Structure formats: C-alpha cells, structure tokens
Structure 1
C-alpha cells in the first residue's frame, strides 16, 4: 500500500512539472529568438558573448545597409563622437546644424540577455575613416523627383537667376520681375514681353526643407549649383573651337542647336546672334539638361516682302515665237508684321503673327507673249523659296555648305515656292543628304534645287511650273536637325551662291 502511494505521488509530481514546462514553451522560444536577433558573430566587427544576464538589457546596433557593423557598448560615447566631429570639422561651415549619419548607416535599439565584448573604438574609427557622417542643410526637391542639397540658399537663388538670364536680357528680366512696363517697339527689332520659369510643363514649385547629406553631396557654391541647373547631375560639358569663316548658325547646325542657344550659353563671349566670331574662339556647345524650363515670349517687328499675284500673260499673235513684251513691271510690296514667338531654354517652340500692315502694295506684272510659245523659260528674276521667314544658314556657313537654308519664324513647317518658272527635271529622294528634293531647269542656263521637303514634290519631271508655284512643303527628311528648305542654284552647270540672284 505504501509502495503504491509513493508511485502515485511521483506520478503527480511529474505531471505538475510537465504542465509547468509546457506552459513556458512560448517564453523559452522568445528568449531563444532574442538571442538569435542579437547574434554579432557575422558583424563587420564580430563580437563574442562574454556573459549572459538574468534580465534583458538594451543595446545599440549599427547597420550599414543590410549589414551589421557592430554592437555599441556605450551609446553615450557614440553621441560624444558625433559631437566631437561636428565641432572639429563642420561647425565653422555649418553653424547651428545637426550632424548625423548617411542614409545607409542607421542604428536600432534591441533587448538582449547577452553581454558582448567592447569594440566601440574599432566601430568609431571605422565610422570616421569611412566618413559616414551627414550634416543638416538645405534640401531642394523638384517636381521631376530630383533632390539636391545646397549649403547656402542665397547661392541657389543667384544660380537660378543666372540660369534664367541665359535666355533673357537683364533689362527685360528686371522689368518683368518688378512688373514694370516693357517699352513698345517703335522700330524694327525684338522685345521680350513674357517670362515663366517652369518645371516640365508646370509652374515652378520647389519643395524646400532641411535634410541630412554628406559633404560630397552638398553643392557648396553658386557656380556648382548653376552647373547642375544647366546640365543635370552628371554634366557632359563640351566645347568647340571655331573654324575659319564659320558663323553662329554653322556652329549651331553642327551641334543640333540654334544660334540663339549658342549665344545664350556663351554670354561672356557673345552679346548678339549677329556678332561675328573668329577662328580659334572656344565656345561652350553643351546641350541643356535642366529641371527648369525657362519660357520667354518675344515680340518681333519686321518688314516682309509682299509678293504680287502671278504675272498676267496675254496672248499676242504679233510677237514671234519665244518673244515677250512687259506691259507692267512686276514689283514687290512690303508689310510690317509683328510676330509673337515662344522660346523654351533658348529654342523656338511656337510662333504666331499678331498684327500685319501693308506699307507698299505689290504690283502685278503683265506680259504679252507669242501665242505659239508656252512660257517655260525663266524670267531671270528670282524670288525667295518661302514667303517671309529668314535665312537660317547662309552659303558657306559651314564647310561644304553650297546652298542657303531658309526657315519660317519659329522654325515651323510651311509651303515652298518655285524661285522662277521652268521645267521640273528631277523629283527624287536622297536618304543621306537632301531627303525629298526637286530640281527645276529654268531653260536659261539656271537650275534650282530644293531639299529636305516633307513629302515628294508636287510636280513630276516634264511638268512646267510658274514662278511662285507651291512645289512642296518644308520638312526634315535627309540630313538635317531642324525644319528648313535648302536651296541650291546652278548657273551653267556650276553651283553659285543663291543670295546673288534671290537676294538675301
């Protein structure tokens, strides 16, 4: 009986102990997990466990990215190190600022039962040698997501103003900024009447705050900020040495830019797009890559030719074959036109005429000709291949350029006209140069060639065209960087400067 009682008591003790053990399974697991979390054997500075306490205590762990650097034994020493570095290396340049760590270095506080060997000295030395500190400074975020840090906001404002002034005169900038009236145009010329600084297509809206950044990521000067605002984070600055006889149009054509853009980014050397440049002059030809779009609106008052309607040809059976008599001499008129052009970072993007006034009425020519002859021979008097517009690149504006390039205001597309009457001899396509082009034989020793048309010409070989006939549309086919018409004139089979006959 006594033996049975002992067995029963023993069983009871075992069952109680078993119940207690099962009750504490989760607690034991938590302790085990906590030990694993604070394992420092794989850290950059491995640390052994010296002892294990009975109660958990808090430790500071330093990570660089996903990698554990080590466990700091004395967090107050870490704070003291940061304060010491700030006083010695940052306080003079960044008074009153907070010193912290770079984005990829961060600390966490965790509980552990372990006591680790002290490697604070090695960890602190590593932080210092790797320069993992970041100082609080001005943080600027753009709409496109770009973020920069600048030491001085005044430098940023000056750099921003300098960038904007690449594309607008100082006088117009000051007037528009202070809401002053812009002087009206009283003679032919251009005035700037509008200015907007945008981020993409939206009005500028910068987010300015404070943020931590390492010294190498902070723009220290106005010049450094201006370089970023002009060319982005990794600028590829390019220069070009002017060759003999080159002008701004030719330099711009070589680098896919306009003469105005070349002038804008070389304001220290070039004051006007009409300025002559000399052989050996070194110019900046870097393309803009800015978070800002500086939109400048300009008004230009210019005089344009008003061409008369096509000459009236009257049959005259008294005239012999091929002869003609001029009854009324054709005369060009003129008109004053005001264009409003929009430029974005120095490049024309839109144009419209806002007013037009005819100053001299054109005179329509009247010619009597023999009835047995259809006029196919050119008059020998040439007109421009476009109405209005301007010369984009003259004869010889760069090496090998043996024609004249004409374009409409704003660099848009528009009709092309025959410079004189004649017979079409070629309507073809040349992919490496002229693109869609047409050739007219004027039957008097002259031929004219029109290149870079949007589509094939409107007349086929053998067809007769009159002076001023619409023969095609300006395009960008072949080798070209902007919409224009390339005109070549041949006399006796040899190329001549078109300006000598059409007048430039």
Structure 2
C-alpha cells in the first residue's frame, strides 16, 4: 500500500481522511498476508482517490487521473499564463491489492475534470491584517508598495531616501531644492502566501490604483442649521438613493434638524504615503537704519553717511507631506551667511542763519543766461534770466529770511523774496510752484521753488534779481555758475 499526494494545499482538520486511510491499510494487510486467499489467484492494484477528505472512487491507473489534473491546469494556464496555478484541494491516492478489483475510472475522471477548482498561488498585500490586493508573486507585491511611493516622489529621491533609512545616516542637504530623507507608509504592510480564484489576482497597476483611491466607509455627519440633503450629498459625493438607503428615517429636508446625526459615506485611504524632505533656503536679512544728529547740517537737511545693504541667511527646514500635501513645516536651523550693513543717516541740527554771508551761489541747476541786466524793449531789466537747466529746482542764493512768497500781479508771476539781513535782498520770479513760506529761514542752496512760466513771461525761465540797500545791482557781479 502507498499514499500519493498530488498538487494543492494540504487541508487542515483531516482526521477523518486518516481514519479511512488506516482502515484501508488494515484491510489491505489482511488480504495480502492471508495464504488461503493468495492461493486462489493473482492480486491486482487499484488506487482509491480522495479529493481533500472526500472519497470519490477507485481507479486502476493513477497516471490517468494525474493526466486529467495536468490537462485541467494546463487549460487554465493558457488563460492565466503569468500565474502559478494549483488545485484547490489535495489529491490523495491510496493503493490497494485485490483479487477481483473494480474501478470507477470514468466517474473519477469526470468528477475531477468538472468539479476540481484551479486556483492561483499568490502573495497578498495586507494592511494591518486586511487583505487589499492579490499579486501573482512576492516581487509584484513588493513592487506595489514601491510604485505607490513613486506616486509622490521620484525614483532617484526614493533610492537615496531608502539608502539613508537603511544606513541611518543624514544625507547631504542641497540648497538648490529639497532632499527626500524618508519615505514611509502610515500603516503596516505585509505580504503573505495564499491560493485564490485567478480572477481575483490584480496587476501592480490595479493594486496601486486601489490603494490610492481607498475604500468607502460610513461615518456620521452633524447637520448644520439650514443645511439641506442636496448640500450634504454634494459634500460627500453621494447620490440621493445612497443617502436615503443609509437614512431610511429621513424623507425630506423637513426631517433634518440642527445637530442631528446622519449617516454618510466617504472615501478613506487604506494607507498614506509620508514623505519627509529637508531643504536649505536662502533668505534676506533686512538692514537697519540709524539716524545721527549733526550740527554740520542745517535743520531739515539730511545726508547718507553710510549706505545700507541687506545680509543673507540660510534656513534649514524639515517638511512633511502626506500624499503630496504639506502637513507640517519645521525650522531646524538658521545660519547667517552675510551680515547686513547698517544705513547711517545724518540729520542736521544747526539753525539756519537769518543773515547771509554775502557770498551768493548760482540759484539754478546749470542753465544759461538768456537775458542780462539793462535796458530791454525800452524798459529797465533789473535782473538776469536763466533758462535751459538740467533740473528745474530753484535755490536760495544765500542764507536769510523769506519775506515774500506768493503770486505777484505786477507781471512777475509766482515770486519769492529773501532778505539776507546784510543790506542785500534777492528775488526769484516766474516760478511754477513755491516751496517756502514767509518767515522761513533758508540757507544758501535750499530749495525755494521750481522754474516756471507764470506772469508776464516769454517762456520757461528764472528771473533773478539782487538788491543792495534797496537798489537793484547786476547779479553777475555777485554770482557765477
């Protein structure tokens, strides 16, 4: 007597099968050792066939049954060519010697051919003990996790991150972009061997899509004041039929009360991909401004003693992303690369003199004399005209006090007069605008207005006069460019 196991997984709880096998063994032993029976004729061999624990008959040719099984698997293999196939149950042969054997060849082969299921040997992808997908081999199952991670990072970054995690070393951070330092999953993923219907086997791409899309779960939604059924199902991407099936006690919006709980469905991920990046970014350090008082400048005057410039610093960030969305940013370190340079501004404190020093300066920014003092058009021209300037600013020729600053109806237009308190007065006419007021103290070079064409003027210019002890004198004897 001999037992043969043919393909398939070994069944658990097969006590009944072994009892049958033992009885068959005892019976065969009696037949083989009884000399009186042996003398009556020659013994023939039959094979009792068991599918799992079920006895389906005896055959006189074990290879015939094995061939039927091979053909059954080969036929399925043509359809599922990339899978390792086996039978759903163990096929056991128990050999027996008999003088007058009988067989159930046709019955056994028909039952095996029509009833025996072919299954695929697979590796399951399990998340916290729940089977999510079935893959044809372990390499494919592991590739599912790899490809899922690649949905949220690139191959090069993933390779470096995995090397970093394996060696537990800090990889070099680049200042020109983020460096991936860790890629992990939010749940435990395991791979286990199993046999299932070949139709339930997934490709890597299908398994990745399934993990990304997640599973539909039921949850409670708290109704807000005035919220409608349409608003709720739109928020959770449900249909009305789905909503009413889960909430059969609700018929219309009138049944919705504030703070009530209703059941809704929402897609929930099986697992999240957590990518941790580190990046060094350069940032500006704004310069400070310091103001210093100085008696070397008049009140109202300022001067930049030292021009400021921004500094730079490097900030080391750690960024956590879940399924591509940033969930946390942490500053790890900050280092100054270049210190900022302070800007220093001098602010004048010196009082402007009420009396000029008699040294007159040119009242315009550049320009040329277009008309001198003297007779012009049969009348006295008591000053000089200046035009063709690069800047229209009009400046006080010497320090003093403003005694006139308004429009003059006598033909001078906008006019400013400064009393230098030393017997001299100067006037500035035809201005487009006036920058001072009567009573202001000015120093030589202070802005008092802008060149213009107001009053009786032949064009844009400055009419400048100098008066000494009340009488006009030639300005060109006192000023020069």
Normalising by structure 1, we get a TM-score of: 0.33
Q: Which has the larger radius of gyration?
A: 2
- Which structure has greater strand proportion? 2
Normalising by structure 2, we get a TM-score of: 0.35
